[in-house]
Structure formats: C-alpha cells, structure tokens
Amino acid sequence: MLLAVLTFMLLVTAAIRRVPVFDAFREGAAQALPLLKTILPTLAVFSAAMALFRESGAAEVLETALSPALKALGIDPPLVPLLLSRPFSGGAAVAALSDIFTQYGPDSRTGLTASVLLGSSETIFYSLALYFGSVGVKKTRFTVPVALFCMLVSIASGLLLSSLFFPA
C-alpha cells in the first residue's frame, strides 16, 4: 500500500522533472542483467550441493548431532545451512532459503523465520573481502569484530522476533 503510494509519487515527480520514464526504467533494469550473470553460477553450485547434502541424508546426521545444542538455542534444525552460509555468500544463502521454501513452504514457521534471518543479516565476509580487497587495504582494524557482533545481534533478535511474530 505504502509502496504503491511511493511509486505513484515517484512517477509524478519524474513527470514534473521531465524524466523519460520508459528510458530511465530500461536503463536501470539493464544493469540487473550483469548481476544475474554473476549470481547464477554461485547459486547453481550451492543449490546443487545443498540438494545433495539434504537428499543424501547427510543433513539429517548433522541435525541429529547438533539437535541438543540447537534446541537449547531455539534454532530450528533446517535453518542450519542458511545460517552457516549467510556470512560468506548471498547466492548460497538464497539457495538455502529456496530449499527451505520448497521443503516447508514460505508461510511455515521455518519458512518465515528463515526469511527474517536472511533479510536481517548480510554477507559480511564476502563484503569485507571485496570492499577492502578492491582498494588494497590489509589492516581492517575494528571492522571484523564489530561486523561479527552485529551479525550475532541480528540472528539472535531475528530468532526472538520470529517466535514473537509467528507463534507456533
């Protein structure tokens, strides 16, 4: 609703400023295509690996082994691949999320919690390597501990808020 209003306001503003809306949209959307090209290979390899990991029964073994710890932390076992891959790769995390959606449905408790966890966290190690690597920075000072701590905050609050918003 709010988004529809905002989009409408954007169109009106664009019209007043004489922006060629069609051309501007095409120009922006065209930039999405190279992104797709970069995401797809990562998505493919992790999607395949995660499907194998789950269907082979390896996931079950891991989940049984971890289940006392996971229960204590209030983490649903199917969320483990998502949580483990999230700091390293957005593509792998999206692969894990779609796997959960296919298995449990996007509106199941697992699906909802997984959505919140993915939405509220970032690919911290990937960004660190890419951003600092691009300008040759080796000494990152306080960045890694702060980023890690924030990741823990978002996971903990994501789990807590999910159990508040989506009671079993």
Partner 1 sequence: MNVMLFLLLGAGIAASLVSGRDALASLQSGASAAVDTALRMSGVYLLWMGLLNIAERAGVMRALSRALRPALRLLFGNTGEAEEAISMNLAANMLGMGNAATPYGLKAMRILNESNPRPGVATDAMCVLLCVNASCLELYPASLAGLRQSFGSAMPYAVVVPTLFASLLSTVSAVVLCRICCSRS
Query: Which residue number, 70 or 101, has a Cβ lying nearer to partner 1?
Result: 101
Q: In angstroms, rounded to a whole number, what is the distance separating the alpha carbons of residues 93 and 114?
A: 10
At residue 105, what are phi and psi to the nearest 5 degrees? 90, 145
Query: Which residue number, 78 or 111, has a Cβ lying nearer to partner 1?
Result: 111
Query: Which residue number, 70 or 154, has a Cβ lying nearer to partner 1?
Result: 154
CB of residue 70 to partner 1, shortest distance in Å: 18
CB of residue 98 to partner 1, shortest distance in Å: 5
> Is 81 exposed, middle or buried, given 0-12, 13-18 or 19+ CB atoms closer than 10 A?
buried
Query: Which residue number, 46 or 79, has a Cβ lying nearer to partner 1?
Result: 46
Distance of CA 65 to the CA centre of its chain: 25
Q: How many CB atoms lie within 10 A of CB 121?
A: 20
Q: What is the DSSP letter of 166?
A: S
CB of residue 44 to partner 1, shortest distance in Å: 4
